[in-house]
Amino acid sequence: MRAARRADMADEMRIQVMNGGPYVVSGGVPLTEMAPVQTLNGENVDWHVLRELDESRDLYALCRCGRSNDKPYCDGSHATEPWAEAETADRRPMADRANRIEGPAGVMLDDESICIGAGFCGTKTTNAWDLINEEGDEARDRVTAMVARCPTGRLAMISAGGDSLEPAADPEIAVVPGGPLWVRGGVSVESADGASWPGQSRRTLCRCGASNNKPFCDGAHSDIHFDER
């Protein structure tokens, strides 16, 4: 029943950036907490769900300034003192920003401007850029899997004609411990000025308040040692 209800509400799911305030999430977007799965060498190779945070509310607000004492939810702390809330990210579609890389394994878009160093695009022995230039089904499958696990959407696989080859994903928001909000399944994000950010199946939103690419994450949470508490 819950899954059917989500499907009915998919078109209503959205994240609204509030001027000087939080992200207001509407349409019943599922909220979870997810963390990377690492190899013994510390390589990020997959994701696993730590817990489901919210499965009932149609409307909720998530902290954007990084100061809330009720993270990931907003508690009004953004109003206690000024903070750099301005949205400064490039508003052009990814296809207009990204480099197009064509190889035997497929066609990959690379938008370095939204990278946060999550590390899913490579291991100690190979990476997405090497694999895209290799022959065979194994290389294609490996690079496709690497790209799909990149939370920011920096990398994307497309057809030769430019159509997305993105694997289907249910709409949801995943809180990454000590990191960003990982938005999946094409949930729309609307700016504080009412305009919609270009559609993207995967993206990460800043929740530490320190990104210079707001509303998107730029990895600043690592630089400031973002306090999850």
User: What are the tens digits of pLDDT across the range 144-181?
Assistant: 999 999 999 999 999 888 888 888 899 999 999 999 99
Instruction: Break the chain into its structural domains and give their ranges.
Output: 2-36+50-90+171-223, 94-158
User: What are the tens digits of pLDDT across the range 115-143?
Assistant: 999 999 999 999 999 999 999 999 999 99
**SS3 letters for the chain?**
CHHHHHHHHHHHCEEEECCCCCEEEECCCCEEEEEEEECCCCCEEEEEEEEEEECCCCEEEECCCCCCCCCCECCCHHHCCCCCCCCCCCCCCHHHHCEEEEECCEEEEECHHHCCCCCCCECCCCEHHHHCCCCCHHHHHHHHHHHHHCCCCCEEEECCCCCECCCCCCCEEEECCCCCEEEECCCEEECCCCCECCCCCEEEECCCCCCCCCCECCCHHHHCCCCCC
User: What are the tens digits of pLDDT across the range 6-64?
Assistant: 445 567 899 999 999 999 999 999 999 999 999 999 999 999 999 999 767 899 999 99
Q: How many CB atoms lie within 10 A of CB 104?
A: 12
Residue written as token pair 């990814």: 94
Question: What is the structure's pLDDT at 57?
Answer: 84
Q: Measured between alpha carbons, how far apart are the two ends of the chain, in Å?
A: 34
pTM score, whole prediction:
0.92
